[in-house]
Structure 1
C-alpha cells in the first residue's frame, strides 16, 4: 500500500489544483510589486523581492492551459527551484492524498492526475513542469 502524501490545495480561477507539500518552501501574500522582465518566457510574470532575495514569479496557468487573467493573491514559493514561486489566486488547506485514489488516466506532461474530493476534482500538478 502506497503512503499518503500531504498536498497543498490552491485555486486558479474556479478550479482547484494541488502540489506535494514537500515542494513548498513557504506561502506569501502577493502584495509586493512584481517587476516585469523584458523578453521573459510567457509563463514568467516577473520578479519580487522576498526578504532581500530576488524571487521569480511564474503563472502556472500558462503551462496548464488555464484561461483567464491571473488574479494572484498568493505566491507559493517552491523549495526545489531556487527563488521561484507560483502565482495562485488563493491557497486552501493541506490535505492527505492517497496515491491509489489518484486518477492517472487524466495525467499529462504537467499533471500527475486528478484527485476526487467530496464535491470537486483537484488536479495534482508537477511543479518541475510549471517553471
Structure 2
C-alpha cells in the first residue's frame, strides 16, 4: 500500500466520466473562438491563440468515434502536452481532480463500448463514482496525426 497516488483530471464525454493524468494537462480553458482550417482531419477543429501560442484544437468526442455536439457553457478545452506537442482537447465538461490509487486500476478490457482500447490506459473502480475510464493522451493521436497537428500549429 506504499504506491503513490496518481492525480487525475476527471472530464465527461457523452455522460461518461473519463480520467487523464494531470501531469499531461497544462490548463483548463473555456471554449473560445476556433479558427477552422481546411483539409485537416475531421476531429481537428482548428486552432486558437492561447496566450501567444498557436494551439491545435481536437474534438475528443469525434476522435473517440462519438457524435459531435454543440458546445455548452460547460464545454471545456483541456490544454495538454501530447508527446511534446501542445494541443487542446474539447470535452463536454471538466469536473474534478482526484487522487487515484494504483490498487483500484485494472487493465483496459480489449473491447470497450465504442472506444478504441488503444486510447484506454485502464479502468479505475472507484467507490464513490463507479468505473472511470483512464485515457492515455499519448495514444489519442497516432504519429501521423501528431505530425498533422504539429504542421497546423507551425503554419
Query: Into which bin does the TM-score normalised by the smaller protein fall?
Result: 0.7 to 0.9
Unmatched runs of 5 consecutive residues or more in structure 1: none
User: Greater Rg, structure 1 or structure 2?
Assistant: 2
Cα deviations by residue, 1:45-82 (Å, 9 ceiling, x for unpaired): 11111112111010122332333425362111013443
Question: What is aligned with 1:29?
Answer: 30
Cα deviations by residue, 1:20-64 (Å, 9 ceiling, x for unpaired): 00001111111x211111111122111111112111010122332
**Count of residue pairs brought into register by the alignment:** 130
Moved over 6 A (4+): none
Question: What is aligned with 1:50?
Answer: 50
Residue 92, structure 1, aligned to residue 102, structure 2: no
Question: What is aligned with 2:114?
Answer: none
Counterpart CA distance in 2 for 1:33 and 1:103 is: 38
Residue 120, structure 1, aligned to residue 122, structure 2: no
DSSP 3-state at the match of 1:83: strand
DSSP 3-state at the match of 2:122: strand
Question: What is aligned with 2:62?
Answer: 62
Question: What is aligned with 1:20?
Answer: 21
RMSD: 1.9
Segment drifting more, 105-114 vs 91-100: 105-114
Contact 1:13 1:68 in 2 (8 A): no
Give the number of the structure whose residues are more often helix, by fraction: 2
DSSP 3-state at the match of 1:47: strand
